[in-house]
Amino acid sequence: MSAPEQCRIIFRHIDEPGYSNDLACYVRHGGYEILKKSVAMKPEAIVDEVKKSGLRGRGGAGFGCGLKWSLLDRKSGKPVYLIVNADESEPGTFKDRYIIHQDPHQLLEGIMITCFANNVKLAYIYIRGEFPHGARILEKAIAEARAANFVGPNILGTAYGCEIYIHRGAGAYICGEETGLIESLEGKRPNPRIKPPYFPAVLGLYQCPTIVNNVETLCHVKHIADMGGEAFSKIGTPGNTGTRILCVSGHVQHPGYYEFEVGKITMGQLLNDVCGGPLPGRKFKAVIPGGSSAKILKFGERFKGKRKVGAEMVDYDWGVEDVPMDFDSLGMIGTMGGSGGVIVMDDSVNMVEALANINAFYAHESCGQCTPCREGSLWMKKITSRMVHGTARTEDAALLKSVADQIPGRTICAFGEACSWPTQSFLAKFGDEFKQYPETKKAAKPAGALELV
Amino acid sequence: MPSNPSPVMNQVSLTINGQSVVAAAGTSLLNAAKAAGIDLPHLCYDPRVEAIGSCRLCGVKVEGMRGIVSGCAQTVAAGMKVITEDAELARQRKHTLELLLSDHCSTCMGCDKSGACRLQDYAYRYGADQNRFGVVLAKPPARNFTTLNKGILFAADKCIRCGLCVKYCETVQMAEALTFSKRGSQMVVTTPLDENLHETSCEACGGCIRVCPVGAMLDKAAVGKGRESDLTRVKTICPYCGVGCQMDLLVDKQRNRIVRATSSPDAPINGGNLCVKGHFGFDYVNSPERLTHPLIRTADGFRQATWEEAIGFVGRRLREIRDQHGPDALAFVSSARCPNEENYLVQKLARTAGATNNVDNCATSCHAPTVAGLAAAFGSGAMTNSVGEIKDCAVMFLIGANPTEAHPIIGLEMKRALRRGAKLIVCDPRKTWLAQRAHIHIQHRPGSDNMLLNAILRCILDEGLADQEFIANRCEGFKEFERNLQGIAVEAAAEYCGVEAELIRAAARLYALGKPSAIYYTLGITEHSCGTDNVKNVANLAMLTGQIGKWASGVNPLRGQNNVQGACDMGAMANKLPGYQDWSDPVVRAKFEKAWGVSLPQNKGSKVPLFITAAGRGELKALYIVGEDLVATEPNQTKVIEDLSKLELLVCQEIFMSETAKLAHVIFPSACWAEKDGTFSASERRMQLIRKAVEPPGEAKADWEILCLVSTAMGYPMQYQNPSQIFDEMVSLAPIFGGMSHQRIGDRGLQWPCPTPEHPGTPFLHNGKFTRGKGKFHAITFHPQKEEPCAEYPLILSTGRTLYNYNCGNMTRKAAVINQRDPGNFVEIHPDTAARYGIRRDEKIVVRTRRGKVTGRAVVGDRVRPDIIWMPFHFAEEPTNNITNDVFDPVTATAEYKCCAAQLEKL
Amino acid sequence: MNLKLETLTKIDEVITHYPEKRSATLPLLHLIQEDVGCIREEAIEWIAQKLGLQPINVYEVVTFYPMFRRQPIGRRHIKVCRTLSCALMGGYKTCETFEQEFNTRAGPTEVSPDGEVTVEFVECLASCGTAPVVLIDDELHQKVDCAKAKQLAAQIKAEAKK
């Protein structure tokens, strides 16, 4: 079965010739009409539509967006803040960049609708420091929108007003974590906060109730407000509604970003039909389906079990190529949809070296606050690094596993999971390669193999 | 009288490891388990600091909750089922410990912390292998921010980066001297810009050392001087200000040395917090300058004498002077540094063997106006609330108080209240730490307190903020008080005080409407020639608004010395017998006469400054001083020396050759605070035990032993086995202490009134009824200070305490840490004033008043107003009290230390 | 601190974006680094004063983020992405090429002998689909293989001569 057509909702105008990121172009294409419609609605009604839509957060965890909003402490009398998480930093993910660069007003419209729905008067876009150009584009877009009365006081002649400001990060993956991001925005070291008691919905920015949503998620809100929650929920598959932007990188013919209805495309269709298959003369070896922290999948392995289709439970028996690219299916086979970053590795890649590359990233990005992560990510890096650069010892594979196994669930924030899942899954799927690595290392590298650490 | 309960928390029941546990709502699982005797391993939790959650050792399993739950962060809930130990948790903890050890220089055999190190304990408990991942210890840089520090040593290679020291410094002490720099595995504890710790905002409180769970933060001077198991822990009370911090001295019994000091989080008042003086200020105990033998004056100095000779001489001379010249020829000065038992004995000695009411203590120079003023208004002169209530204040009203320096642990509680959202009003001519963070800072000119208070009272009346019901039911004298305020105009008062009228109004509103509000004041109120009036007006403010007699609401004088409260409690003053009983009350007199077997003296008795002037006039012949340095602490030093030199007999019980002792005829060497048992009364009326830690040097004796010998030699035999016996005699005569004993006081202390052995003690006073029945309003007329600025002396000089030093400095200035931070006298000058005189920062300058001159280093900054200068009085070589004004409050003879006219000169 | 008027104006503006001034720490660090090239002690003290903070509050933040530097670097800042997707497409070779071209080593504080560039091997730049990517100052360059790296290096050298 060949791949379905892309369903470009959010990326509708990305790379469209003649489409520019200024307000005039956006308005020509019907921009801010949905905001106009929304401010005439009751805020609660918009929240209801988002709940009905079944929209799940696109940042990584796939948490229900409507549910997240409904957890907000609205009785405290304190202001409610929205923080737009544009700290896109999960390796393998590069969707927000294009929204910000090419269609910033789409994001702003989504933000304003979200703010109106949740009575937010002040929103921040936390954009990663490595997007200086993106930050400037957003600044300009906000200024345009403010001048046109889409942002700022009394928008569109209503009593409602909301400001949006840009806040630039400075090179810290941990700021993608909600509470680390909040600390960073408060001007402190971005150490994630301990939960309880610091759930952002209750004690977020400045100890006020706060929503933190991903860029892609907020763009979806605009389209939900447009088409209604019910219509949106019909896109994609039940429980995995809407579209998903899949970012493919690594060893495929056509890496890039593709927007599909969630769950309507399989990994095989994506990599072979959409991305043109492996590079000439190579074979797919492994793929990380949802950003570098997602557990790796090995081509050739099979996944069997029962899953719910409609009201029924049906058997499934999938190869990697057969897995539908949705939150639940990827979850069922032990990995995750995460941030939608698909990293493909072919048979030229040595998995020990690939893991050493990933471990160096996580050791560099650990905030250092809690023991298992600070010391554990360091040791995972040190052990894989000494495998590659020093004397690889056969027992190191077991040692590495024991380090990785003791991190998830023990840390203050989800970075613990993010940093240990690669090691756990690489060892589980490619254990032999780790055991044989002392021998592999002695042999010459295969032709075309690149240095990874 | 019922005890006054604090707000009660809801209790919830849960099970921990199958054991039923009841805990207050809001308690963490870790603490609930601890209370049930279950020790959850933890490195980054300390009761003094908000949960950090970084070490990840205290994880537990909770039925129905996903994964591992943080014991320090998760609070109890009804019906919770918690498992704190099983094979899986043990495995995880072992692993986490191994990770910590992999980055920890585990040379336990060379570490002071060995035996008291939680990392070591847990590594043993869970069988952690130090080198499981390989050995790759990076050597830390040889130099760090403590390399030049006299007190604190940071051993970076032992740091487990739990964050306790950083969090303590940031959120408890709020000194913001420590932080982490870098991130991940590179993260390291450091100071701002990595500069030397003693050059940062560090206040040397030692908190980083006390909370460090491993041996990364250490007492530098104690390194190599003994591990926990080599030392004996002695629980006692800090010998400095009147807060009453409980501390543990770690003592090398063999070498008879205090090695270091610390404090446990369950300490009743201070909760394990100490200030620089408490943590580092014990060096004086071991000082080579300690007096070791009795000394008798010779023509050209002193000679060593035997106890027998010295006691015999003093006994005989006192007897002779008493018999020849009568009761007003001799006087006794008791010591606010000494325990209650010894203060009791001094006044007993005066009133029995001495046959005189001439007994006083240093409260006269500090808080006598409190004792007089609050007794007149409420019936008793002490803090009406407890330190533990401060955190529950909605509004704190500080006037003439600088607690973060003078009463640092009370300052710490105020910082805690601020963090919990309390509002703060500070009336102070200086921009103190708290004033800078106050919601309202009224920087009025020194000496204008009553003008200011009257204006505030006026505003409260004008705006209908007075608590009419409270006034009608609980108070008297309101009409006259109200009439007296009729002439007050807020605008005019504001102009005199040099502040905005609107600020006064805002303060009046904030205080009156606080739920609840409490007043805290110190010597800025009392050390004036109108000190007693000031105190009475403070009392008026509380009564007018009904802000007294409740939890976290009342009037709180913060006492300046460790046992100045006790010296007053014990009746070491002319007009009161122990327990504030009136010496003129015939029933009381009869009780004491029966117990002591003497007729009580009839003379009215006098006060310290008047003893001195009487000596100058030749009327006072003999003065017996226990542990006070009047030359250093009384105003107009030259005159004091002149007067004291005229005495026929001056006897000092001292630990050092003080400025006063130099004038003595006989000096008895005393045991210091660490060398004897007894009790101190803290500011909050809590009596607490002090315990002997080391033997006194040479032949020095405890003051109570010396007093017994002197009394016996004077013909009135006194014999006690120990201080506890003295205490028992005292409580049998003083009903407000009637229920107390050393045994009952124990480690928690007891707050008076405590009349019966069943009485739990009294956290706050005047609940439902004032001690004197009705609270009494006083009509206060403003009187300006005695010495106004003039052309020749255009500035106002005010004096006070620094954080680091204490009184005459003879205890604190022996400590290296303190000398590093506060080495000598200084003068705070406003930049405008400095510019006018052409004075540069750190330049040595001269301050002159009508009484003389003194030098100090110029500290130029806007802590003071342009019209005032401020100096501490701790430095004997540059004695500020040489130039302070010896004019006195007419009621209490308290000197006007807080303002006199002064002039600046270049050296 | 000698800041451009434009920077000062921006600083005053950005502070108004936040209900609590401390939040402006990161924006101020960016603005000052863009103006004067790095964050020296005086900048830390200046920011603290400006925002009513202690220098420690700024210092602990500066040292956390790799984008802030405490000393000046080369005139051009070449950041080569090191992370997996770029490494899979030759990121290490790209970095090596820049090192060779400018006779320097990759490192946040290294400066090429001619003072022209600082080459830094950084973590993910979020353009994995066009790997390997390089950020030169504020400009992203995509699919930078060795040949393109040489070309970019030549361009930088040429611009330096002007």
- What residue ranges of chain A are covered by domains with CATH 1.20.1440.230? 351-442
Is residue C101 domain-resident? yes
| Centroid of chain to Cα B888 | 25
- Cβ–Cβ < 8 Å for B783, B450: yes
Of B287, B246, B185, residue with least CA distance to B811: B287
pLDDT digits (tens, 9 = 90+) for B56-68: 999 999 999 988 9
List the CATH number of the domain containing B77.
3.10.20.740
Chains that touch C (3 or more CB pairs under 8 A): A, B
Measured between beta carbons, the chain A residues lying within 8 angstroms of C99 are none
Q: Which of C29, C88, C138 sits opposite A345 (nearest CB)?
A: C88
Residues C84 and C49 in one domain: no
Measured between beta carbons, the chain A residues lying within 8 angstroms of B92 are 406, 410
Q: Do B176 and C54 touch (CB under 8 A)?
A: yes
Measured between beta carbons, the chain B residues lying within 8 angstroms of A371 are 54-57, 96, 99-100, 160
Of C47, C124, C33, residue with least CA distance to A168: C33
Is residue C19 domain-resident? yes
> CA-to-CA distance for B593 and A10, rounded, in angstroms?
97
Measured between beta carbons, the chain A residues lying within 8 angstroms of C134 are none
Type of residue at C53:
L
Is residue C69 domain-resident? no
Q: Which of A365, A379, A410 sits opposite B59 (nearest CB)?
A: A410
CB atoms within 10 A of CB B211: 26
Helix (H) / strand (E) element for B564: namely helix B564-569
* Interacting residues of B757 by C-beta distance below 8 A, sequence separation 6+: B739, B741, B744
End-to-end CA distance of chain B: 62
> CA-to-CA distance for C38 and A47, rounded, in angstroms?
45
> CA-to-CA distance for B497 and B481, rounded, in angstroms?
21
> CA-to-CA distance for B843 and B839, rounded, in angstroms?
7
Residues B575 and B719 in one domain: yes
- Count residue pairs from A and C with Cβ separation < 8 A: 155
- Cβ–Cβ < 8 Å for A69, A91: no
Beta B179-181 vs A236-237: how paired, if at all? unpaired
> CA-to-CA distance for B173 and B546, rounded, in angstroms?
32
Is residue B724 domain-resident? yes
> CA-to-CA distance for B536 and B557, rounded, in angstroms?
12
Q: Can you spell out the DSSP letters for A358-419?
A: HHHHHHHH----SHHHHHHHHHHHHHHHHHHHS---TTHHHHHHHHHHTSTTSSSSTHHHHH
Residues C41 and C84 in one domain: no
- Cβ–Cβ < 8 Å for B203, B803: yes
- Cβ–Cβ < 8 Å for B497, B444: yes
Ordered per-residue pLDDT tens for chain A, 453 residues: 688 999 999 999 999 999 999 999 999 999 999 999 999 999 999 999 999 999 999 988 889 999 999 999 999 999 999 999 999 889 999 999 999 999 999 999 999 999 999 999 999 999 999 999 999 999 999 999 999 999 999 999 999 999 999 999 999 999 999 999 999 999 999 999 998 888 899 999 999 999 999 999 999 999 999 999 999 999 999 999 999 999 999 999 999 999 999 999 999 999 999 999 999 999 999 999 999 999 999 999 999 999 988 889 999 999 999 999 999 999 999 999 999 999 999 999 999 999 999 999 999 999 999 999 999 999 999 999 999 987 777 788 999 999 999 999 999 999 999 999 999 999 999 999 998 888 888 888 877 778 888
> CA-to-CA distance for B453 and B756, rounded, in angstroms?
39
Among B557, B575, B592, residue at a domain's last position: B557
pLDDT of residue C161: 84
List the CATH number of the domain containing B473.
3.40.228.10
Is residue C68 domain-resident? no
- Cβ–Cβ < 8 Å for A53, A229: yes
- Give the residue from chain C lying closest to B201, CA to CA: C54
Encode B509-556 in three state secondary structure. Answer: HHHHHCCCEEEEECHHHHCCCCHHHHHHHHHHHHHHHCCCCECCECEE
Q: For residue C94, give the DSSP letter.
A: H
- Cβ–Cβ < 8 Å for A438, A310: no
Q: Which of B178, B182, B191 sits opposite C63 (nearest CB)?
A: B182
pLDDT of residue A14: 96
- Degrees, nearest 5: CA angle B625-B664-B648: 90
Residues B513 and B539 in one domain: yes
Is residue B481 domain-resident? yes
Residues C13 and C47 in one domain: yes
> CA-to-CA distance for B250 and B222, rounded, in angstroms?
10
- What residue ranges of chain A are covered by domains with CATH 3.40.50.11540? 23-234
- Cβ–Cβ < 8 Å for B534, B449: yes
Of B878, B870, B861, residue with least CA distance to B813: B878
* Interacting residues of B702 by C-beta distance below 8 A, sequence separation 6+: B342, B670, B671, B675, B676, B696, B723
Residues C149 and C104 in one domain: yes
Average pLDDT of the segment spanning C22-34: 98
Homologous superfamily in CATH for domain A23-234 = NADH-ubiquinone oxidoreductase 51kDa subunit (3.40.50.11540)
Helix (H) / strand (E) element for B258: namely strand B257-262
Residues B586 and B616 in one domain: yes
Here the tokens at position B253 are 């019994």
Residue A168, chain C, CB below 8 Å: the answer is yes
Residues C38 and C110 in one domain: no
Measured between beta carbons, the chain A residues lying within 8 angstroms of C80 are none
Q: Can you spell out the DSSP letters for B711-723?
A: HHHTT-----SSH
Q: Do B193 and C55 touch (CB under 8 A)?
A: yes
Q: For residue C27, give the DSSP letter.
A: H
Among B515, B532, B557, residue at a domain's last position: B557
CB atoms within 10 A of CB B891: 17
Helix (H) / strand (E) element for B125: namely helix B118-125
Is residue B143 domain-resident? no
- Give the residue from chain A lying closest to C80, CA to CA: A130
Angle between helices A371-389 and B87-101 (to 10 degrees): 70
Is residue C105 domain-resident? yes
- Give the residue from chain C lying closest to B192, CA to CA: C56
User: What phi and psi, each to the nearest 5 degrees, are found at residue B856?
Assistant: -170, 160
> CA Rg, chain B, in Å?
28
Measured between beta carbons, the chain C residues lying within 8 angstroms of B176 are 54, 56-57
Is residue B469 domain-resident? yes
Q: Do A364 and B184 touch (CB under 8 A)?
A: yes
Counting Cβ atoms within 10 Å, is residue B7 exposed (0-12), middle (13-18) or buried (19+)?
exposed
Distances (CA, A) of B884 to A8, A395, B527, B800, B854: 85, 78, 11, 11, 10
CATH of domain A351-442: 1.20.1440.230
Low-confidence ranges of chain B (pLDDT < 70): 1-9, 136-138
- Cβ–Cβ < 8 Å for B429, B440: no
Q: Which of B171, B181, B188 to mutate to test the interface with C (most CBs of C within 10 A)?
A: B181
Q: Do C87 and A357 touch (CB under 8 A)?
A: yes
> CA-to-CA distance for B671 and B538, rounded, in angstroms?
39
Residues C156 and C80 in one domain: yes
Measured between beta carbons, the chain A residues lying within 8 angstroms of C29 are 170
Q: In angstroms, what separates the C-alpha of A191 from chain C's closest C-alpha?
A: 10
Instruction: Name the A residues in 175-204 with CB < 8 Å from any C CB.
Output: 184-190
Q: Do A187 and C26 touch (CB under 8 A)?
A: yes
- Give the residue from chain C lying closest to A92, CA to CA: C128
Residues C92 and C144 in one domain: yes
Mean pLDDT for chain B?
94
Q: Which of A170, A341, A354 sits opposite C65 (nearest CB)?
A: A170
* Interacting residues of B172 by C-beta distance below 8 A, sequence separation 6+: B48, B49, B207, B273, B412, B415, B416
- Give the residue from chain C lying closest to A182, CA to CA: C23
Distances (CA, A) of B147 to B154, B167, B702: 8, 22, 39
Q: Which of A172, A399, A409 sits opposite B133 (nearest CB)?
A: A399
> CA-to-CA distance for C102 and C98, rounded, in angstroms?
6
Is residue C45 domain-resident? yes
Residues B425 and B348 in one domain: no
pLDDT of residue B22: 95
Of B288, B342, B228, B254, residue with least CA distance to B694: B254
- The residues that bridge with A284 in the sheet, in sequence order, are A346
Distances (CA, A) of B534 to A375, A452, B537: 60, 78, 5
Q: Do C56 and B176 touch (CB under 8 A)?
A: yes
Number of domains into which chain B is organized: 4
Measured between beta carbons, the chain A residues lying within 8 angstroms of B184 are 363-368, 374, 377-378
Angle between helices A351-365 and A415-442 (to 10 degrees): 140
Q: Do C129 and A171 touch (CB under 8 A)?
A: no
Chain A residues whose C-beta sits inside 8 Å of any chain B C-beta: 172, 189, 194-197, 363-372, 374-379, 382-383, 386, 399, 402-403, 406, 409-412
CATH of domain A243-346: 3.10.20.600
Is residue C82 domain-resident? yes
Residues B829 and B884 in one domain: yes
Residues C152 and C80 in one domain: yes
Residues C11 and C58 in one domain: yes
- What residue ranges of chain A are covered by domains with CATH 3.10.20.600? 243-346
Residues C88 and C26 in one domain: no
Q: In angstroms, what separates the C-alpha of B174 from chain C's closest C-alpha?
A: 11
Number of domains into which chain C is organized: 2
pTM of the model: 0.95
Residues B574 and B669 in one domain: yes
List the CATH number of the domain containing B866.
2.40.40.20
- The residues that bridge with B254 in the sheet, in sequence order, are none
Residues B547 and B571 in one domain: no
Q: Do A450 and C22 touch (CB under 8 A)?
A: no
> CA-to-CA distance for B610 and B604, rounded, in angstroms?
13
Is residue C71 domain-resident? no
Residues B497 and B644 in one domain: no
Counting Cβ atoms within 10 Å, is residue B314 exposed (0-12), middle (13-18) or buried (19+)?
buried
- Cβ–Cβ < 8 Å for B734, B579: yes
Residues B372 and B362 in one domain: no
Domain around C27: 5-62
Average pLDDT of the segment spanning C10-18: 98
Q: In angstroms, what separates the C-alpha of B55 from chain A's closest C-alpha?
A: 5
pLDDT of residue B3: 42
Measured between beta carbons, the chain B residues lying within 8 angstroms of C41 are 193
Among B557, B576, B599, residue at a domain's last position: B557
Chains that touch A (3 or more CB pairs under 8 A): B, C
pLDDT of residue B136: 63
Residues C84 and C135 in one domain: yes
Q: Do A171 and C67 touch (CB under 8 A)?
A: yes
Instruction: Please say whether the dihedral angle defined by the alpha carbons of residues B872, B874, B879 and B884, taken in this order, is positive or negative.
Output: positive
Chains that touch B (3 or more CB pairs under 8 A): A, C
List the CATH number of the domain containing B595.
3.40.50.740
Is residue B350 domain-resident? yes
pLDDT of residue B137: 64
CB atoms within 10 A of CB B114: 16
Residues C20 and C56 in one domain: yes
> CA-to-CA distance for B542 and A438, rounded, in angstroms?
81
Domain around B836: 795-906
> CA-to-CA distance for B235 and B157, rounded, in angstroms?
31
> CA-to-CA distance for A216 and A339, rounded, in angstroms?
10
